[in-house]
Every structure is written in structure tokens, then in C-alpha cells.
Structure 1
Amino acid sequence: MNPETMNPEALNPKAVNREAVNPGVVNPGAVESEAVNPELAAAGVHFWQGSFVDDEEAARRLAELPELAARTLAEPLPTELVLSACRHLADALGAPDGPVRARLLGVLTDGGTDPEEAAATLSEIADAISRPALERKLRRELGGLHPERLTRPDARETTFEAWAPVGLLVHIAPGNAAAVAPLSVIEGLLTGNLNVLKTSSGDTLLAQHLLAELAGADPTGTLARRIVVLRFSSARTAWLRLLCASADAVAVWGGEDAVRSVAELVPAGCRLIEWGHRISFAYLTRDAWSDGATLDALAADVCRFEQQACSSPQVVYLDTEDHAEVFAFAERFAAHLAATSAELPRPELEPAEHAEITTTELVARLEEHLGLTRVIAAEDGSWRVLADTRPALAASPLNRSVWVKPLPRTAVMTVLRPMRRYLQTAAIGGSRADVARLSQAVLAAGALRVTPVGGMLDSYHGEPHDGVYALQRYSRRVSVRADEAFTTTACLDDLAAPAVVPAAPSGPLLDKAGVQEQLRTLEPAHAHLYFRSGGSTGAPALSVFTNADYDTQMRAAADGLLAAGFDPARDRAANLFYCGGMYGSFISFFSILERLNATQLPIAAGPDHAATAEALVTHGADAVFGMPSYLWQLFHAEGAALRAYGGIRKVFYGGEHFTAEQRRVLTQEFGVEVIRSAAYGSTDLGPLGYQCTHAEGSVHHVLTDLHTLEILDPQADRPAPAGQPGRLVFTSRTRAGQRLERYQIGDLGRSVEGVCPCGSHTPRIELLGRYGDVVRVGTYFLNVRRFIAVAEERLGYRGELQLILDAGDGRERVTVRLDERYAPDPAAAAAAFPAAIAELASAVDEDLLDFTVETAGSGAFERTATSGKLRTVIDRRQLTV
């Protein structure tokens, strides 16, 4: 192992475990920061909370670091701010001719970096901080996209847990891996820390300028207050002491000597996070070492990155004790290494590197006389294979130099375990059974990852680094245990302050047709789960989600259900939503209840009401979930059985609303105690809002963890006045593939001001129906909800109501259809509606339309085939034109 070589995997994300997500639409203005103005940058080489400063100013501020930490860490850092800023910066880095990329390329090349290497470094960083990669990293390492929020890991208990920052996190970065330093700081930001980065005095200013650009992408200034970058030599021990004395954790890269020198400065109780040197090897069975393709792949692993990566092979072990086989393999492998090396340009070696290679090769050649070794090397010195009969693990001098040694599988533990602190990657070549058995052996000996031969330097987003997750090492797991007063509280943070919600993007509004058009170009990687809408407002539309999208949404909806009063520790839920035909209600609520660890009966809506009622009674269901129209039919078709049971205490509905009279019947006649919306949502966007125990009517809290909401004027694309009705326009922030930005879903609503009586600061809206609830007939606008209210208030009607529009002979016709079980005399109803609805009366008086009332059985009411929703407005005029 070369103790001076930090495996610089700036060009290989695996080595530093810096994974992240796919960029979105760049907002150039968002990444233009005053902090990166060249004139300001000229003020110094240190970046301190948004400003470039010189040595004198940095020294003054260092003395005040403890006070700065206390002040800064008192302010929470929402993960959403970091994700949003990283997405903007990733987009800017990905723009080939963009000003941000040009500036940072200049910083690297001015510092002596090869232009091609500089471009590759920025591309790697852009990929690492893209939103999809960071989201995957957060899910894998910290369990979700908002790890800083105190939520209930088990919904049956009122215990809240979160990942909290360690506090002041000092990063002591290596001097030969350009991407490591800024990416480590971004990991520190994802975990909410105040980050102080020390870079080498010989480094370029990439970390300073890149992090300045990141800070500039956050208009709130919160990120800037969490970033300090200092550039100085480790010989400046006074500054190092000041950094470490105030630190809650120190992350250090380097060999044992470097780590030891930092450890001496770290105070008691400070977490020391070591990212030290590692060594990797390949292990081949007889079948594998006889295969030419395997040897070609191994040669490629040796040549990539000149073995500078921790995951590069330095030793090739053979499953044999026969020294002759080792020497014979070395001869064969040398031919493959020579061919591969000839295809790849080799950089000039530094004098120290050349000297180490020469020394290692000379010693090996001297030991040939003892029968211990054999050296096969290129005449021009571009590569070498060092065969050695002794199995002990040994570091190679790198730069296309590799040892070949015998190691029978029975001796794996004996030989490798003493080096367990240094082992990283093992590439195993052999049969499927060999790979399984040998993986167990090398992992038990201390290796941290196993790969195929030829894939040692490859990685995947979310992969652990050196056997740990970086985000967990930069965090603390904290908990709050509460009493039953918090049974309906899903997130403790919502009781403290409003969540930080990024502003909606600018740009055109998106409609349903635009959403469907997006699906034509959606990549298969973003299309795991397909749903169709119920078709209550038109032809069924397709919606596509990734499995991760779906999981995030179901967890958010589950939190909302807790707020609505569902108690997973006590309630027994019957899922009576419709199922089949790719319709998502039943499946979604199955998932929601599953994530709440609730007891559920997945019955689904069906025509056999007697069988459903029997299941409810037999299995003791006390909470039912379903469409109001279906539940209303069920309660009346099986009224006698359900009244006798008397066990249904809670009704959670979706897709429609219960009228006040229907609520009264359920409460007084069936003993229902809670009637509440299970969720407000749409098939396209998923869950959008939830009701709490203090919600009345159609008031819902907005799921701000998922969406940004705008309420626009009904007639113009400008914000509606506070508290006034407007169009609901949502931007979903947690969807991969589909970009549902400024999507107007066809609903009307208004904001509800003030803090909710439930104590949550989450914003609220009152739903006011859909655009389709208002129809133009005979030059007048009629709202079906007004008809429902009149039927309830003036006629005492408690059934369903449909408004039917026909072209008629010469003039249009409006028919109100009522359920014959609850309807008054049609003549009395026909008189009541015009008397209460002035627009209807005027249209009739002016002979613009005919108005009638009809009564019918519940089977005559038209419903959507998929969801079972009642079609409140049936417009037949277009069909008869």
C-alpha cells in the first residue's frame, strides 16, 4: 500500500460514496451568486458563510467559531433546501456553455488541472448531486427524504425519531482528489451540519467556488450560513487546533500518520470519522483464471485510474498452493495486461512514483534467485506482473503493477484477517457456487464489498463506502417519547413552525393533456407503477410512478391519516374502495394502512352488500374506508345488520363528499362517531392533503412534504387574494421522470388563514369543488353543489343527486334526478329548486331551458365504471348535437 497516495476517486464516485440525482430545468438566475463575483473572490482564498475573506479575517473569525456554531445550529436546515439548491447547481454544471460550468472549469485549469480531467470532474460532481441520486442516497442511508423531521417510526406508538446533525462538522480533505472535499460538505449539509472544510494549500480553489455557487442557489441564505472553506497547510497547527477544539465531529482523509496527527487534536467526545487508505484484490478459481475474457476484464481493472482508486486490484489471488501454477498464470496474464495497457494512454509518472516502482521491482528480481518471485514487465516500463509464492497481502507500487499470489480457499481467513482494517474490494471469479462461498469467506475476513472481475471500480447510487453510510456517520439518531395527547400527531415539527416550502417554479401551467403527453417520452426507469383515473371527469387518464415515488407518497398519506383520527393501535380497518382496472384507490389505501402497521380487512367494494356486511361484523371492523356513494348504498342495503352490529365507529371517505344530512343519518342511526376525509388527492399527483381532527367540511391541510401549492385567480394567471377562491395549482417535488410543475388539476379552493386548532402550522385550504361543478345552461351558470344544498336544506333530502343536461327541442333541458327512497314529491321538488336558485328561475322564466325533477332507484344513477363514483353532472348535449 502506498501510504502517500489518497485514492482519488473524484473520477470514480464509489470511492468517496458520493451518489445523488437527475437534474431538472435550470434556473440560471438561481445559481448566480454575489459570492462568486470575481472581484469578491479576489479578496481571499477562504470562503466564509457567503463571502471570500483573506487570512487575517479568517483568523479573526476562527477565534469566534464556538459562538458561530451555537448561533447557526439553532436554526434548522430543511433537507428540501439542500436538494433544491443541488438540483439547480447540477443543472448549471450540466449546461455545456453555461456560465457556472465555465467559471469552475477555469478555476480547475488555472490551478493546473488538465482540461479533460477538469471536465470529467465537474460531470462526476453534477451526477453526484443530481436530485434523483441524492434522493436515493437519503432513502437508503437515512430512511426518507426528510430525515430531519421528528416522525413516528411505528405509528402504533407516540415515539418520534429523527436524524439530527452532529453539529460542527470539520472536513479535512485530501490534497489529490478534487471532488472529495465539496461532496463531503454536501453530505454534511444533507445532515444539517455546520460544515468547516480544510483544503490543502496546494489545492485549486474548486471547493471554495463550487460551494459558493451552491450557496448562491439558495435564495434564503441558509446554506451559505452552513459553509466555511479554509485553504491552508497542515503545518499551520494553530488553525488546525482551533478547528478541532470546536468540532463535534472531524472527518479526515489520509493514511495512518495523517489520521493519527488529527486524532491528537480532537477533544474527548468528538467523533473522529476516518476515511483511510484501503487495498483491494481479485480472487480467481481455476475455471476463472483459465478464461481469456476474465483475464481481459481483470487487466482493465488494473489499468483504469492507474490503480489509484481504493477499489483497484493490487493483488491477484489464485485458489491454489502450486507455485508453478502461479508462475504460469503470471506469464499468461502478462500478455492480457500488455494488450490492454497498449490501448490506454499512460500519464507521466512523478519521480517519487517512478522510484517506488523501481525499488519494488528490483527487490522482486533479486528474490527470483531464491525461487520466491518472478517478474514479467514491459520493456518500456508501462506495466509489470510480480508473481510471488508467499500469500501475505502486499501493496503494489500501483501504476499498472500487480502482484500474483497463491491463496487456497481454506487459508483465506488466516491470511487476510490480519489485514482486515485495510481491506476494501474483492473481485471474485468463479462459478455461481464459488462466488457465493468465497464472498462469505472474504467478507468474514474483513473485505467490505465483492464485485465481478472487471467491475471493481464500478459503483451504484447509495452504495456504502468503506462499510458504512456516510450520512449516518455525519448524524445522530434522536428521539422524543410523548403521551397519548400526541396520538393524532404524525410529525412533531408541524407543531413548532411552518415547514419550509420552496417557491413554485415559473413557466406555463400544465393541464391533463400535457401530463399525458409527457408519458410518451418517459424513460422506462421512471415507470414502475401504472394507474388509471376513475374517469369521473372524462376519459380515464394514465399516471405513472416509480416505486420510490409511490412509497414516499403513501408514507405522507399515512401521516395524514393519523392526523385525521385513525388509530392503528386500536382501529380495525375495512378497505372498501374500488379495485381493478388499474384503478388505484384500493391499492393505495392498502399500502397506507400497511405503512401504519394497522389491522385491515382488504375487502374492496363489490355488489354483494350482504357478504360485505357479514365480513365487517364477523371480523369486528370498526373503521371503514371507501367512496361515499358506495358506503351510503352499503349502509342502507344492509341497514338492519349494521344497526344491530353497531360497531362501525369511524368512516373515512375519498373522492366525493357526504352531505350534512347523510352525516346525520350515519351518526344518529348507525352510531358512527367520526366521518372524515381519508385523503385529498388525484391519480396524477397522488395525495395532496389531509384532514385533522379539527377539520370541518372540506378543509384540508396541504401535504407540503410532497407539493408546493399555488392558488390562482379563477380568470387570470395571478395569485388569488388571500382567502379568496381560486384555481388549485400544484407542483410535485418528489416525482422522478414526470415533471408535474404548475399542474392545474381542475379543483377550486381558498386558503384558510391562521394556525389550525389542532396546533399544526401546515397550511390549510378549503375545497370548493371542481370546474365541472359549474355548468353554463341557457346563458346562466348553475352550480350542482347549490342544487345539493337546496335539496338538503329545503327538502330534508339525504340521498344522492344528479344533474342531467340535454339539448331538448329548441331549448336546453335540465333534470334533477333524486333517489326515490328519500325524495319528496317531484312536483314539490320542482318548485323548491327555482325558488331557491335565482339563476335557474330566471332561465325558466325567460324560456331558455326546461326544468324537471325525476325520481329513480339507486341503480339508475350513473357512476364511473372504475371507481364507482357518482357522476354529479351528466352533460348529454354534446352527444345530441
Structure 2
Amino acid sequence: MISELHFWQGEFIAETEAAERLAELPDLVRRALAEPLSTETVLIACDTVSRALQQPHSDVHTRLLAQLTGPAGATPPDPEEAAATLAELADALARPALERKLRRELGGPRPERFTRPDARETVYEAWAPVGLLVHIAPGNAAAVASLSVVEGLLAGNVNVLKTSSSDTALAPHLLAELAAADPTGAVGRRIVALRFPSSRQDLMRLMCEPADAVAVWGGEDAVRGVAALVPPGCRLVEWGHKISFAYLTREAATDRAALTALASDVCRAEQQACSSPQVVYLDVEPDAEPDTQPDGAAPVAATREALFAFAEQFAAVLDEVSAKHPGPRGADDAAEQAEITTTELVARAEQHLGLTKVLTADDGSWRVLADTRPALTASPLHRTVWIKPLPRRDILATLRPMRRYLQTASVAGTRADIAQLSRTLIAAGVQRITPLGAMLDSYHGEPHDGVYALQRYSRRVSVQATGAEFATTPCLDDLIAPTAPPAAPTGPLMDKAAAQARLSSLAPHHAQLYFRSGGTTGTPALSVFTCDDYDTQMRASAHGLLAAGFDPAHDRAANLFYSGSMYGSFISFFSILERLGATQIPMAAGPDHEAIAEALVEYQVDTLFGMPSYLWQLFHTQAERLRSYGGIRKVFYGGEHFTAEQRRILTETFGVQVIRSAAYGSTDLGPLGYQCTHARGTEHHVLTDLHTLEILDPQEDRPVPQGQPGRLVFTTRTRAGQHLERYQIGDLGRAVDGVCPCGSHTPRIELLGRYGEVFRMGTYHFNYRRFTQVAEEHLQYRGELQLVLTNETGREHLTVRLDDRYAPEPDTARTALLAHIPELGSAVGPEALLTCTVETAPTPAFERTPTSGKLRTVIDRRTPTA
């Protein structure tokens, strides 16, 4: 219906209204660009539609299939072709495909963010939209128009699409589904889809005059017509008509399997795609060199005979393949059919001169035209293919004059042939090389016509910042309040057991990196990542480390995290420091403290990365050497926390100036948060580029009031492999109100320990952190503390284990704990619900996880009672 021809920012409108609104297009663009579009928002909407299209009985699939197969003015595709088109769209709109495209073309899944390409400099770069991007779509590829707009959305542009009124209504209706899939409305506000003929120059002018870039499909006349309408400085992105061909060596020309694959390329899409083969070149050598033949001489007989013999062989194969893939006999359009007839008649006339040989199907479904002249000749399509000779030494001379029109070459030969011919053909102007049978295929992120579309639809912009205040600012966008936070996740909560159960169903390409947890709180858990997942996470962690005060331009770092047994700490921080371009000495934690201390001094290390328990041992076993060196200025830790007393000793005794968390994370989820230079205690910013955080009531599955403690539940958003949605990590925490003094608007949390650090004993609940707090405040204790729970004598017993280097007498320590932990005093008092002892022990006696070296804070050895 006329009233539904045009889609304008979320609604279908009539043609008269579309003309009126086009006059206001510049104002629309200004309003839309004032609201930045998050790539994450686009990815969510596209993936939502993709999932719906993958279900043949979904409402979305049904509605869009009707647009492809219903009346639209042009001859609609058959149902099978329509279903294949929707399957192609579902695949292209899936989040993994789009993320791969973003990584290939713009460097990462969040290209719009101002980050530091060189972490050693305070120069920020990002990809920004060109502004208003107009798409003038072709009529021979149903999916192209919609996907071009999706590319424009990924680049952040306001998009105006123009299709012909004779095309199907797939494009506007698919874009309407995308807009509906975004609850924020941001996607819909950047989409206008119009359907009118190019002869409506009034509408074309209103659409093109305010454009910052115009993407146009078509031949030279179409491109010239659009170029006349665009303003000076407007970027014209030409996706013009191209010619593709196959190139076969002598050996490959006798390979029937290769010829069958080539025939399939000819039949697919009736040669309507730019990548369809129109010519088949043979690497045939004349008996005499060309410069020994008189000008204008006919090709030697050997060349002609070999060419015509191959044409007959290929015609037989094409006949078989064409019969298996029946299509229309020629073109539906009268002008196209006339071109086919004319081309065939001319070729038949030239047979009498020995220049050509014409082979056609009895039913007119295909045509093979052998021509002894090598010049590139366009085919009239519809299963019409030229066969021509082209010795490899003549490729450049023959094809380079046509370089503007060349796209795909399918090459068949030996490995060496393919390598050599690919270089030669690309030098001649070819854009892509494929095997036979794969000319029309593509891969996610593949460049089109020699360029990346997203880069043509974007601008690379930069901000140079000076001053020390930017040294710890990894991303300028964090200094701006977000306009539309991601929607809260829904669905069931997931625990570690559920996450482990899903591993068996992962596809192999989603499981490329395997890590195991340290097993601090139980059996080590397996987590898997794709290489892209890992890279995204390490780059996010690198930004967090900058915020924490690490200076990759000057700091000399020793990586002393644990390594081996599939544990990820050492490997991860090696990757993080590598991405920062930092100087690092990757030593890993080891038992030979003396050798490590010697290396720290020899290599002038001033920054340490490692577990607090290990670093604490290193400082004290090598106290004299490290105090004498006095060069350790920064300590970045992970997995555990230093107590306030330990921090005081490191600062006053060893001269450490910065003690800060290197990252908050887990093996399951990867990095979760980071500390800035203003963070206190266990406060961390959340890595919102990677995750969405919920804080739920400890007992019920509902959000806690702002600022109240609860369970930390994370949903990963940038992970193609192991999906973890509403994952209960096992930590407790609370949200920190207000904007951080560092200026970042990313949310903050205060970590309050793990579930396992809160235990019930003698009818009371105890928190491990309360024991460490009392020991530190009332006993000036600065060592490690471990709790052991048993019930061997029929009564529950609590053992508090202290480091004998720093502990007071056990009785003194016990008295202080009973006095300052009221629940403990009551439980061991007159009620006698449990017994409590304090023991002192050397550091090696403390139990640790073998993989990570972490201290086991609470060891529950109680056996269930009958």
C-alpha cells in the first residue's frame, strides 16, 4: 500500500508525508547526532532479530518472508530463495558475526570510545560517524540494502536508505524489526527507509544535499547521476558494477571436479552477483611468441584447438550442473533477453572467421561462447559465459586497463600457481581471489571491493590531552555520564555448576583457550574463551591498569603471579602488560625468593605484580636485600587483599609508594573491575564495557536498596564462547554512591568478601574479615590469618591460626578475639556452643591452593552429624 511505502524513525508513513519530512532532514540529523549511539545497543538489536530469523515459525520470520514472497511490483523470488535470503540475513546479523566485523574493520567491539592507541601517550583516538549516510541500494540483491544500513548503524550514523518502488519491501520492514528490537529507541531514531524511483529528482536532491556520505550501487551512469546531487566534500562511496572471472592452468582445465565447481558458480544467482564468473580464462601458450607473429595475425591453431576443446568439455559439465539447478531460460526482462540474443548472434557470425565457437543448451538455459581474443568481455549473464585464452605473462597487459571494473578471480592450479597467479591478478586490479565453487561465498568481516565498508562509513578522530591528570584516564568517555545504560538482564540465575554443565555443548570454535580456577573455594572450575574474547578482556584490563596508576612509559614491571596448570593469572598479566607496551620481566612466582630478589635488583624493577600472600613472603624473606635496594615503588596485587597493617609495613619499611589492586576478576568471567587512584580499600569500578552487574539480596532474588550489601551477579556481553548470564560469582558487595573523585562515571562497588568467608557455627554467623580486623586493630597483627572449623569431639571447634613471626601469645590473641567479637564471646562462654583456640605456626604451615598460591581463609573440616 502507498501508505506503507516509507519507514521514518520507527513508523511507516505515506509518500506525501515523506517528502515533507525530507525537507527537515538537516534538523533531524542534528538532533539524532546529539545523542551518541552505543555499538552495544546496535549489537543487541541485531542479535535479537537474528535469533528470531533463525526460528522459521517466529512472528518476525513470518512477517519478513511475506515481504519477500508477496506482491511488490517486481517478480518476487520463489519461497526457497526467500527462505535462503532470510537465513543469510540471520547469519549476518548475529552478534558474533558483527563483532568479528567490528574487530577486523575498526579494531574492536567498541570503536566509538576514545581510548589510547599507545598507552604510553595521552592521545585518544576513536571512530566517529560521518554524520548523515545515504544508501542508494541496488535492485538485484535483496539483503544488501538492509545490511548496508546495519553497517551505517555500527558506525554510529544517521541512515537514509533509498530503494526502488519496484523492489520488495524487505528492507524497510527488516529495519522496522531492528528498531522494534531496541527498547531505548536509539536505533529507530537513526533509520529512514524510502522507496521511490531515481527519476524523482526532487526527492533525490532533498535526500542527498545534506548528506555527509552517499553509498551508491550501480553502473557508471547511476554513479554520475548521484555525484551530481551531492554537495562538495561529501564522501561518495561507489559500489559499482564489477566483472569477475575464473583463471585455470592447463592441468586444472582437465579436472572435472574443478569444472563442476566452476559451473555451479555460473548457475548460482543467474550470474546476477558481481562476484559471478562472466569469463573463464585459460593459461594457454601459443606455439610462437606474440612478437614473432605479424600484426593482426590470427591465433595459432594450437591455441584455438585447445580453447575450443575446453569449451566443449566445459559445456558438457555446465549442462549437467544446470539441469540439477534449473532456472529461468534466459532473462525475464526484454532488454536483457535482447542483449543475450545479440551477443550470441555476433559470436555465431564470427565462427566463420575462426575466432569463436558457440555452444548452447537445447532449451536455451545456458550458453558457452569460446573466443580466441583475450580482451575482457562482459557477459549478458543468465548462465552465459565466455571462454578466452590468457597466458600468465600477458595478464597485466590485458587486464590492468580494466582494473576499475575487476572484482573476483577464481584461480585453479597447484599451490605455487595459486600463489603466483594471485599476486599477478591483484597487481592487475583484482580485489579478491577464491577457489572454484566459492566465488559467491563470503566470510564475516570480508572487505568489499577492496575496502572495509565500516571505515568508509566512519571518520578516524583524535583528541590530544596534556597534563598529569590524564595519565590515569584510559578512556575519555568514562568522564561523561552515560545516556542509556544497558537493559537489566532477565532469566534464571546461574551458578558454577550450571556454567560447567554448559561446557559440553560448546562448539569447538568457541573453545580456543582453556583456563582452570585456583580452587580456593572448592573444586577447580574450567572456563573457555575464544581468542577474540580473551583479547577484548585483556584490553579492557589494560585500561583499568592505567586508571590504577600504572605508567607503561616508565614503570619496569615484574610479573610474579603464579603460572602453570592452566591457571590464568600470569598469562593474563603478561598479555595485559604486552598490550600496554610496558617493560616487563615475566618471572612468575617461584620458591627461590633469593633468586627473584636478585633479578629484581639486577633488572631495576620498580613495580611488582602478584598475589599478596606471595609478595608478603618475598618481602620478608628478602627484607634486607629489598630494603637496601629501595627501588620498589609500586605493588599491584590480585586474588587477595593486603591488610592495612601490611600496607603500612610495605610503605614505611620498604618504601613502596603505591599499593593497589591490579584487577578484580575471576577465571569464569575474566576481568570484572579495576581500581583508580582514588579507590579506597576494596572499592573497584565495574568494567561496563564487558559486563552488566546486578546486586541481589543475600537471601532473595531481588535487587537490594542502593548502597546495601548483596550478592554480585554478572552478565557477560562481549563473549562469543562460554556465555555466562546472571552468573553468581560468589562475592558479596555493595554499590558506592556518587561520581568517583577520579571523574569516571562508571559504577563503583565495594567488595565485602566471598560467601565462603561467612560461616555459621554455634548458631552464630561469623565473617572472616571481622577476625582480621580485630587482629589488626587490637593486636597490631600484620601477618596472615586462617580459620579451621572442625567438630571432631562432638562439639564444634574453631581454630584461629596466626603467623608466629607477628603473633602475640596465643592466650593474648584469644582474649582479644573473644572480647571484640561479641558473637564469639557468647558462643564460647556460658552457652558453650563451641570451643575456640589460637595457634601460631610458620608460614609454610598455612594451607594454600596449589595452583594459585592463595591462602585458604576458611577451612571447613566439619563432618555432617546424623
TM-score bucket of the superposed structures, by smaller chain: over 0.9
Task: Pick from 160, 178, 188 the counterpart of residue 224 of structure 1.
Answer: 188
Question: Residues of 1 paired with 2:811 and 2:102: CA distance?
Answer: 64
What's 2:293 paired with? none
Does the alignment pair 1:327 with 2:320? no
Does the alignment pair 1:856 with 2:845? no
Question: Residues of 2 paired with 1:852 and 1:242: CA distance?
Answer: 85
Task: Pick from 441, 450, 455 the counterpart of residue 424 of structure 2.
Answer: 441
Question: Residues of 2 paired with 1:557 and 1:402: CA distance?
Answer: 55
Task: Pick from 178, 200, 223 the counterpart of residue 214 of structure 1.
Answer: 178
CA distance 1:853–1:542, shift in 2 (3 Å): same
- Tell me the CA shift for residue 341 of structure 1: 1.2
Does the alignment pair 1:126 with 2:110? no
Per-residue deviation, residues 757-794 of structure 1 (Å, max 9, x unmatched):
00000000000000111111111111111000000000
Question: Residues of 1 paired with 2:436 and 2:153: CA distance?
Answer: 35
Question: Residues of 2 paired with 1:250 and 1:142: CA distance?
Answer: 20
Structure 2 counterpart SS, 1:507: coil
What's 1:865 paired with? 850
Per-residue deviation, residues 793-832 of structure 1 (Å, max 9, x unmatched):
0000000000011113121110100000000011100111
Structure 2 counterpart SS, 1:658: coil
What's 2:155 paired with? 191
TM-score w.r.t. length of structure 1: 0.94
Question: Residues of 1 paired with 2:89 and 2:263: CA distance?
Answer: 27
Letter in 1 for 2:26: P
- Tell me the CA shift for residue 472 of structure 1: 0.3
Does the alignment pair 1:93 with 2:53? yes
Per-residue deviation, residues 610-659 of structure 1 (Å, max 9, x unmatched):
00101111001110000000000000000000000000000000000000
Structure 2 unmatched runs, 5+ = 287-302
Question: Residues of 2 paired with 1:138 and 1:601: CA distance?
Answer: 33
Question: Residues of 1 paired with 2:781 and 2:360: CA distance?
Answer: 95
- Tell me the CA shift for residue 56 of structure 1: 2.1
Question: Residues of 2 paired with 1:315 and 1:442: CA distance?
Answer: 14
- Tell me the CA shift for residue 880 of structure 1: 9.5
Per-residue deviation, residues 510-568 of structure 1 (Å, max 9, x unmatched):
00000000001111110000000000000101000000000000000000000000000
What's 2:169 paired with? 205
What's 1:507 paired with? 491
Letter in 1 for 2:275: S
Task: Pick from 294, 314, 320 the counterpart of residue 278 of structure 2.
Answer: 314
Per-residue deviation, residues 730-764 of structure 1 (Å, max 9, x unmatched):
00001113220000111000000110000000000
TM-score w.r.t. length of structure 2: 0.96
Query: Retained in 2: the 8 A contact 1:501–1:708?
Result: no
What's 2:813 paired with? 829
Query: Retained in 2: the 8 A contact 1:499–1:704?
Result: no
Query: Retained in 2: the 8 A contact 1:42–1:52?
Result: no
What's 1:373 paired with? 356
Query: Retained in 1: the 8 A contact 2:533–2:721?
Result: no
What's 2:295 paired with? none
Task: Pick from 472, 476, 480 the counterpart of residue 455 of structure 2.
Answer: 472
Query: Retained in 2: the 8 A contact 1:375–1:386?
Result: yes
What's 1:679 paired with? 663
Letter in 1 for 2:276: S
Question: Residues of 2 paired with 1:236 and 1:121: CA distance?
Answer: 29
Per-residue deviation, residues 156-181 of structure 1 (Å, max 9, x unmatched):
11000000000001111112322111
Question: Residues of 1 paired with 2:153 and 2:79: CA distance?
Answer: 29
What's 1:242 paired with? 206
Does the alignment pair 1:767 with 2:767? no
Question: Residues of 2 paired with 1:382 and 1:186: CA distance?
Answer: 37
Question: Residues of 1 paired with 2:517 and 2:865: CA distance?
Answer: 26
Question: Residues of 2 paired with 1:196 and 1:661: CA distance?
Answer: 63
Task: Pick from 515, 536, 540 the counterpart of residue 556 of structure 1.
Answer: 540
The 5 Å alignment of 1:507-586 reads 507-586=491-570
Question: Residues of 1 paired with 2:246 and 2:140: CA distance?
Answer: 26
Structure 2 counterpart SS, 1:405: strand
Does the alignment pair 1:60 with 2:37? no
- Taking only aligned residues, the RMSD between alpha carbons, in angstroms, comes to 1.2
Letter in 2 for 1:342: A
Query: Retained in 2: the 8 A contact 1:504–1:731?
Result: no
The 5 Å alignment of 1:742-753 reads 742-753=726-737
Question: Residues of 2 paired with 1:292 and 1:733: CA distance?
Answer: 48
Per-residue deviation, residues 685-713 of structure 1 (Å, max 9, x unmatched):
00000000000000000000000000001
Question: Residues of 1 paired with 2:8 and 2:361: CA distance?
Answer: 50
Task: Pick from 28, 41, 54 the counterpart of residue 81 of structure 1.
Answer: 41
What's 1:296 paired with? 260
Structure 2 counterpart SS, 1:710: strand
What's 1:482 paired with? 465
What's 1:463 paired with? 446
The number of equivalent residue pairs is 841
Larger mean CA deviation between 424-433 and 316-325 belongs to: 316-325
Structure 2 counterpart SS, 1:878: coil
Letter in 2 for 1:772: G
- Tell me the CA shift for residue 204 of structure 1: 2.1
- Tell me the CA shift for residue 500 of structure 1: 4.2
Structure 2 counterpart SS, 1:814: strand
Question: Residues of 2 paired with 1:843 and 1:511: CA distance?
Answer: 33
Structure 2 counterpart SS, 1:259: helix
Per-residue deviation, residues 344-392 of structure 1 (Å, max 9, x unmatched):
1112531333222111111001001111111111121111211111000
Structure 2 counterpart SS, 1:358: helix
- Tell me the CA shift for residue 853 of structure 1: 0.3
Letter in 2 for 1:82: V
Instruction: Give 4+ residue runs of structure 1 displaced > 4 Å after superposition.
Output: none
Letter in 2 for 1:659: T
Structure 1 unmatched runs, 5+ = 1-40
Query: Retained in 2: the 8 A contact 1:499–1:762?
Result: no
Structure 2 counterpart SS, 1:721: coil
The 5 Å alignment of 1:596-675 reads 596-675=580-659
- Tell me the CA shift for residue 452 of structure 1: 1.2
Query: Retained in 2: the 8 A contact 1:501–1:704?
Result: no
Question: Residues of 2 paired with 1:178 and 1:337: CA distance?
Answer: 26
What's 1:10 paired with? none
Letter in 2 for 1:609: H
Per-residue deviation, residues 411-450 of structure 1 (Å, max 9, x unmatched):
0000000000000111111111111111110000000011
Does the alignment pair 1:731 with 2:715? yes
Does the alignment pair 1:359 with 2:342? yes
Question: Residues of 2 paired with 1:768 and 1:339: CA distance?
Answer: 72
Structure 1 counterpart SS, 2:722: coil
What's 2:767 paired with? 783
Per-residue deviation, residues 710-741 of structure 1 (Å, max 9, x unmatched):
00011100000000000000000011132200
Question: Residues of 2 paired with 1:338 and 1:122: CA distance?
Answer: 29
What's 2:298 paired with? none
What's 1:146 paired with? 110
Larger mean CA deviation between 730-739 and 847-856 belongs to: 730-739
What's 2:687 paired with? 703
